[in-house]
Structure formats: C-alpha cells, structure tokens
Amino acid sequence: MNIDSTIISGYQSLQDIGYLLTGKRQVLLVSDKNIIGLPPVQSLITQMQKAGCQVTVIDNVPPEPSQHDVTAILSALKKPVVDLVIGAGGGSVLDVAKLLSLLCAGDENVTLESLLAGEKPQRRTPSLLIPTTAGTGSESTPNAILAIPEKETKVGIITPVMLPDYVALVPELTTSMPAHIAASTGIDALCHLFECFTSVIASPVSDNFALVGMKKLFASIETAVAEPGNLAARLDMLWASYYGGASIAHAGTHMVHAMSYPLGGKYHIPHGIANAILLAPCMAFVRPSAVSKFARAWDLIPDADLKLSEEEKSYALVEYFDALVHRLDLPVKLSQLNITPDDIPYLSQGAIEVQRLIKNVPMPVEKNQIEEIYRSIR
C-alpha cells in the first residue's frame, strides 16, 4: 500500500498553508469543542476565510463515535459536497473526517451503509489531517473505526482511498493534552508499532516504520508526558504516532488490540487505557514466538543493556512495558475500570471473534488463553 501524503511538520507549520487552498471554495472543518478554539486552529480558519473559502465547521465529534453520530453529522450538512475536508483532533475526529472525505465526494452510490457493508469507493474529496493527540496514527492509516452500539462492538472501515493528501504534525496543538491523555495515547502508539513489528504479516517495509517510530517513542514518551511544553518531545511523539499508523497500513496489530476492542465496545473504556492494561500481559504471552524481534526493540531503549542475550532482552522488554505503564500512572488492573470477573467470559468471546487481528498473532491463540490473560489482570 502506498502512502502518498505530503507531510507538513514543525512548530507553527500551519501559519502559511494558502497554497493548499487554491481553487477550494467549500471547506469542511471537522473537529471537537476542545480543539476548535485553540489559536492555531482559529488562525487556520482565518486563513481559509481570507482565501475566500466558505468554511463549514463541525465541532461536535464525540469520543468513540458511532455510525449514528456520522449519520447525524451528514444530515446537518447544508453543503453535502465540498472541495476540501480538514480534520483537526484526536483519532475519533480524524476517523470521522476520513469518512466524510468519502461521503462528501459527490458519489451517490457511496453511503455509510455501503461502507459498513464493505463497499470500496474509488474517490474522495481532497483532505488534510491534523492530529492533536499522539497515539492513534489515524492520519496514516486506511482505517476508520466506528462503534456499533446495537452489537456492543466496534468495526473498522478500511480502504486506502481514505489516506489523506496532506498531514500536518504541529507540536503546539498537542500541548493542551492532560498528562493521562498524553500517556494513554502514547501507549496506543507503542502498541501499534510493536504489534505490527511482531505481526505474522510484518514486512521489511512495516518493520522499517516500526523501528524508526519505536526509537522516537522510547526516547520521548515520558518527557512528553512530564513536560507538555517540550515541543521537541511532542513532535517526536507525533512522528512516532504517524509511523505507528504507517506500520498498520503495511502490516497489522494483533493481540492487544483484539482484546481491547470488547473493553471499548461494551464498557466504553478509552482505547489507550485498555491497551495500557493489556500491553505487558499480552506481550508476555507472545514473547516466546518473537524473541529476536523483542530483542531488537529492546536495543532501541535509551540506556538499554545491550550485553544481554536475546532471550534476556526479550524478558527485559516485557518488564520495561510493565514498568512504563506504572511510571505513566495508568491503570494496570481491570478492577480499576469496574470490570469484574463475571465480565471475563464476555470479553474473551468478544476478543476471539476479532479474527482479522487474532490471525496476526505470531502463535496460535485459543479462547481459554485469552481468558487466562484477562483473569491475570482482574
């Protein structure tokens, strides 16, 4: 899969994007109420208005959006066909923006229902994605995730047509994130990178993205959380997140994400929090089947002991994951999320049914093994 997006990166990089607006009259800006008022976003709106664009603002994208939310947004649009879609926000906002780039392209045969049924559209409206969290990597994936409340689950709409024309990695837009959001989204990026690196469908291309992204993440995640104004660390995390998404586009996540889906679908646990709880126990399970790759990842950690054997490095990496989640002050037990032992059979069944991810685990996985992992963190 080719990722042809042009990357705009760095402090104040949104200050002059007039060249993107040539010939654009109807612009749809998708965001949320926490982001829309930030000075760089307001400056962007001003630039568009000065360029003669008619800007429609959608600022009510909820966390974990459902298909009903997207339908409501579409119904509220006075101009259902636009020249440019801009998404500025976290992963939920970017996913909705990507879907709207398909649904506002003027093809009456492409509907949300057809996309959920597996329709593969051929075109979209030009798009610019601006992540304000450093975790989902939505700006570099062909995926959009929607909650399906009636089934208490989430589904992914996947098509490379959704990949954007432009991506802006602007570190000052991430400095308002609370520490716990910076931490949990950072762990989400780590899961993307490392799961894709150890996936059975990993390739040299996805490995390259994952290795570059992990090096940046290991060096910067704790600084970015502790020092929100550290723009260098924040930009490193944006790039790590981008590389995580690119890894997904060329490989695929596996066990952590499969087991986190039912936590989000029924219990509405934030995705990064669910991943944080599952990261170390899932990787302890996977470790014997990917010792060499665990060792390669260990070597990227600043001050890592490089004299260890591969086997020792693989164990050390799992311990590092566990310690990192603790240092970031994220939950480590299901009980902290009000998940009880009685919920575990449901969770286990939900996870084993996510076969598009389970099949990427580098070893066979049975439902009873998934249940054991849930029980180990109850």
Span between the terminal Cα atoms of the chain, in Å: 39
69, exposed or middle or buried, with CB in 10 Å at 0-12, 13-18, 19+?
middle
> Residue 184: enclosing H or E segment and its boundaries?
helix 179-198
Q: Are 96 and 69 in contact (CB under 8 A)?
A: yes
Q: Are 373 and 282 in contact (CB under 8 A)?
A: yes
Q: What are phi and psi of 330, to 5 degrees?
A: -100, 155
Cβ-Cβ contacts under 8 Å for 353 (sequence gap 6 or more): none
CA gap 130, 41 in Å, rounded? 10
pLDDT greater at residue 283 or residue 106: 283
Residues 248-274: pLDDT tens digits?
Answer: 999 999 999 999 999 988 888 999 999
Confidence band (pLDDT; 50, 70, 90) for 150? confident
CA gap 356, 80 in Å, rounded? 33
Q: What is the pLDDT of residue 168?
A: 96
Residues 47-68: pLDDT tens digits?
Answer: 999 999 999 999 999 988 999 9
Q: Which two tokens stand for residue 320?
A: 């590092």
Comparing 10-19, 25-34, 106-115, 314-323, the range with the smallest average pLDDT is: 10-19
260, exposed or middle or buried, with CB in 10 Å at 0-12, 13-18, 19+?
buried
Q: Which two tokens stand for residue 223?
A: 């600084």
The DSSP bridge pattern shows strands 143-148 and 153-158 to be: antiparallel
| CA 318 and chain centroid, separation | 22
Q: Which two tokens stand for residue 210?
A: 């994952």
Q: Which two tokens stand for residue 159?
A: 């098509």
Residues 166-206: pLDDT tens digits?
Answer: 999 999 999 999 999 999 999 999 999 999 999 999 999 99
Question: Could you tell me if residue 10 is left (phi over 0), alpha (psi between -120 and 50 degrees) or otherwise beta?
Answer: left
C-alpha closest to that of 28 among 79, 63, 90: 79
Confidence band (pLDDT; 50, 70, 90) for 148? confident
Residue 153 has pLDDT above 80, yes or no: no
150, exposed or middle or buried, with CB in 10 Å at 0-12, 13-18, 19+?
exposed
**For residues 155-159, average pLDDT:** 89
Confidence band (pLDDT; 50, 70, 90) for 16? confident
CA gap 179, 191 in Å, rounded? 18
Q: What is the pLDDT of residue 1?
A: 64
CA gap 10, 228 in Å, rounded? 16
The pLDDT > 70 percentage for the chain reads 100
Confidence band (pLDDT; 50, 70, 90) for 154? confident
**How much is the mean pLDDT over the chain?**
94
Confidence band (pLDDT; 50, 70, 90) for 45? very high
Coil vs helix vs strand at 11: coil
Q: Are 245 and 264 in contact (CB under 8 A)?
A: no
| Beta-bridge mates of residue 147 | 66, 154
Q: Which two tokens stand for residue 328?
A: 């970031």
Residues 283-338: pLDDT tens digits?
Answer: 999 999 999 999 999 999 999 999 999 999 999 999 999 999 999 999 999 999 99
CA gap 281, 318 in Å, rounded? 8
Q: What is the pLDDT of residue 265?
A: 81
